[in-house]
Amino acid sequence: MKPQHDFVAERAVAQHCEELFAKEPSAEDQAQELANFARKLTRQLETSLASQLGSDALQIACEEVGKRTAASLYKAIGSASANMFVKCGNGELPLLLSVEYGPALALTEQAFGGAVGAIESDLAQLPRSAWLVLEAIAKQIASGFSAAGEFGDAAEFAGSHDNPAKLGAFGKSERCLVWPTVLTLPGEVELPFRIVTSEEAFLAALETGGTGGAVQSAPADLATNALRFGDLPLPIHAILAELTMPVSQIAAQKPGDFIPFAPRREVPLLIGDKAVARGQIGALDDQVALNVTQVL
Instruction: Tell me the domain boundaries of the chain.
Output: 27-227, 237-295
pTM of the full predicted structure? 0.62
**Does residue 164 carry a pLDDT above 50?**
yes
The confidence band for 232, taking pLDDT boundaries of 50, 70 and 90, is low
Q: pLDDT at residue 239 above 90?
A: no
Rounded Cα–Cα distance for residues 198 and 101 (Å): 24
Using CA of residue 87, residue 144, residue 136, residue 174, what is the dihedral sign?
positive
Report CA-CA distances (Å) from 20 to 23, 111, 215: 9, 52, 33
Residues 58, 183: Cα–Cα separation, whole Å: 7
The more confident residue out of 113 and 182 is 182
Terminal CA-CA length for the chain:
108
Confidence check: pLDDT of 185 > 70:
yes
Q: How far apart are CA 244 and CA 197, in angstroms?
A: 61
Average pLDDT over residues 141-163: 86
Are 132 and 105 spatial neighbours (Cβ–Cβ below 8 Å)? no
pLDDT at residue 48, as a whole number:
79
Query: Mean pLDDT score of the chain, rounded to an integer?
Result: 79
- Residue 296: the pLDDT is 73
For residue 217, pLDDT beyond 70: no
Q: For domain 237-295, give the CATH number.
A: 2.30.330.10
pLDDT exceeds 70 at position 123: yes
Comparing CA positions, the residue from 204, 30, 80 lying closest to residue 38 is 30
Which residue did the predictor score with more confidence, 240 or 106? 106
Q: Tell me the pLDDT band of 18, cut-offs 50, 70 and 90.
A: low
Please list the residues that pair with 34 across neighbouring strands: none
Give the pLDDT band of residue 143 (cuts 50, 70, 90). Answer: confident
The topology under which CATH files domain 27-227 is Chemotaxis protein chec (3.40.1550)
Q: Averaged over 5-12, what is the pLDDT?
A: 51
pLDDT above 90 coverage of the chain, percent: 22
Question: Which of 213-217, 239-243, 244-248 is predicted least confidently?
Answer: 213-217
Locate all alpha helices (DSSP H) within the chain, ordered by sequence.
27-53, 70-76, 101-111, 128-149, 199-209, 222-227, 247-251
The predicted structure's pLDDT at residue 214: 39
